[in-house]
Structure 1
């Protein structure tokens, strides 16, 4: 994997400082300064400020954020050590997060790009190309999603059929934004075919990070609380040799079903369902999936936990 140059790191850092989210901006600022977390702690101790390595790690991964007075004091000192403008990181902090697992705050439904995606700065950039922010992804909630992923005899993903039940979470919702991230350098992304319930709008990409957003114009404007059913097929060009398919789930989703159809002549050695609370967590296998005579593995989750759910396979 190629390392980014110092100029590229500083450029990405400055973009994150301007647009957020906080954890991404902090992580990039740390990378750009070239100091380890232990060296940063040492620099802070020289100023009479103590902060644990775990806290710094959690702040840059998005698992927690500074909220208490002593943490905010440490963050302001950290801005000086990192060489970023005063209040640039503090200004990216949102309101204190709700405490407790079942806090009924609607903000829990908002997407956290730093928890859902690696390289989330690319997500911010690609959404900006369609006049959107990560918060716009919460305008529609996927109550139910069913996906059928097909692979060919060359172990490549060739199509994904999806049916979704969407609920408007704000008044007058006119479009949906579908985000994908592709890992095959130089391989073009898929095109949308056979859309029903909406039509394809703009497609924009961020080549540096592999993000792509498809704008879908709804067949009707949805008032808040209204639902609709929509379908589409993603047709992939050759070259997509991914070893998994993943879906980001937010609070309120009721059902996720993923079917993966392999060519019967080329079946994987193993197929598993998995879950990650965030990109900062390792995958946890939720179940081993049986591959039937038609080469199909099926994974269904009811009332799924928020986070990343998917199916992964191994060939050898």
Structure 2
């Protein structure tokens, strides 16, 4: 099959699924367009019509951001339409590949982790869309997280991707990192300083640039793990959409929540509110390199201020 015919086939599959999803919600294309505009997404009616007919398919950062909103508006699983696009004929703007935290010693530990896992540093893949969900237990501490990502090879062929857990300044035992879908764990490593733990996620199918794949992995924490009241996700390249969703146990709703954003331009802290909910979500488009995270505390003052970030 030629590249052109392959792209045509993926466009047809995407278009059919897009039409079915719109019909299932009983929406008109005009109404969907209005809802997208209300979210600040400027994709045109003509573009939506092209996508629905299969004449064109979403490409580029703006289109992929719109597609993420469409999946939410049509009550679809995150990434379900995006996954139907298959191979795109371009990677789009890559931007710089930078260590996401301003921690020189930590970066050296990460380089050692990559070497031990047999991975090239920096990684030649990138996350196009990532949704990271963290559950907080009744004690107010991180208990479990699961991350789903669309990854892309930016150059050559990628057969595996390292995923790391980092706790700057805090030595911890190794968390339980497991593959959920899209591949398997082929190697594990813990740095002697206890601040960097990671796995090598071997993909089901090798990715040759600019191909994409869906991957999903989970992290659980052993009983002797230090209490964690901060979570987040870090990316080394620009991510088209990054979602961090933190879900609190009903008996452990925090008194204070603070968003932390760290980029090459510096760090920014912003107070957040649950506003009657039991969870808080953060969304950034065209984000990175950097870290998007959240910390919480309680009136008794217990606030370890530890950082758990995936990279």
**TM-score, normalised with respect to structure 1:** 0.59
Is the Cα contact below 8 Å between 1:191 and 1:236 reproduced in 2?
yes
Aligned length: 207
Considering only CA atoms, is the larger Rg found in Structure 1 or Structure 2? 1
Q: 2:140 aligns with which of 155, 179, 182?
A: 155
Greater alpha carbon shift after TM alignment, 215-224 vs 116-125: 116-125
Is the Cα contact below 8 Å between 1:113 and 1:134 reproduced in 2?
no
Report the alpha carbon displacement of residue 182 of structure 1 after superposing the two structures with TM: 2.9
Report the alpha carbon displacement of residue 233 of structure 1 after superposing the two structures with TM: 1.5
- Greater RCO, CA 8 A, separation 6+: 2
Report the alpha carbon displacement of residue 303 of structure 1 after superposing the two structures with TM: 1.7
In structure 2, C-alpha distance between the alignment counterparts of 1:117 and 1:245, rounded to whole Å: 20
Report the alpha carbon displacement of residue 259 of structure 1 after superposing the two structures with TM: 0.9
The within-5 A match list for 1:1-316 is: 108-112=95-99, 115=102, 119-135=106-122, 137=123, 139-182=124-167, 187-193=172-178, 195-238=180-223, 239-278=225-264, 281=266, 283-286=267-270, 288-290=272-274, 292-293=276-277, 295-316=278-299
Structure 1 residues 61-108: Cα deviation after superposition (integer angstroms, max 9, x where no partner):
xxxxxxxxxxxxxxxxxxxxxxxxxxxxxxxxxxxxxxxxxxx995x4
Match of 2:28?
none
Unaligned 5+ runs, structure 1: 1-103
Report the alpha carbon displacement of residue 287 of structure 1 after superposing the two structures with TM: 5.6
Distance 1:146 1:240, change over 3 A: farther
Q: Secondary structure at the match of 2:149?
A: strand
Q: Secondary structure at the match of 1:129?
A: helix
In structure 1, C-alpha distance between the alignment counterparts of 2:228 and 2:175, rounded to whole Å: 13
**TM-score, normalised with respect to structure 2:** 0.60
Q: Secondary structure at the match of 1:254?
A: strand
Q: Secondary structure at the match of 1:122?
A: helix
Report the alpha carbon displacement of residue 171 of structure 1 after superposing the two structures with TM: 1.8
In structure 2, C-alpha distance between the alignment counterparts of 1:183 and 1:199, rounded to whole Å: 27
Q: Secondary structure at the match of 2:117?
A: coil
Distance 1:187 1:252, change over 3 A: closer
Match of 2:306?
none
Report the alpha carbon displacement of residue 152 of structure 1 after superposing the two structures with TM: 0.9
In structure 1, C-alpha distance between the alignment counterparts of 2:172 and 2:238, rounded to whole Å: 34
Q: Secondary structure at the match of 2:287?
A: coil
Q: Which has the higher strand share?
A: 2
In structure 1, C-alpha distance between the alignment counterparts of 2:200 and 2:282, rounded to whole Å: 27
Q: Secondary structure at the match of 1:132?
A: coil
Structure 1 residues 258-289: Cα deviation after superposition (integer angstroms, max 9, x where no partner):
111111111111113221124x94x3124624
Distance 1:170 1:116, change over 3 A: farther
Q: Secondary structure at the match of 2:193?
A: coil
Q: CA RMSD in A?
A: 2.6
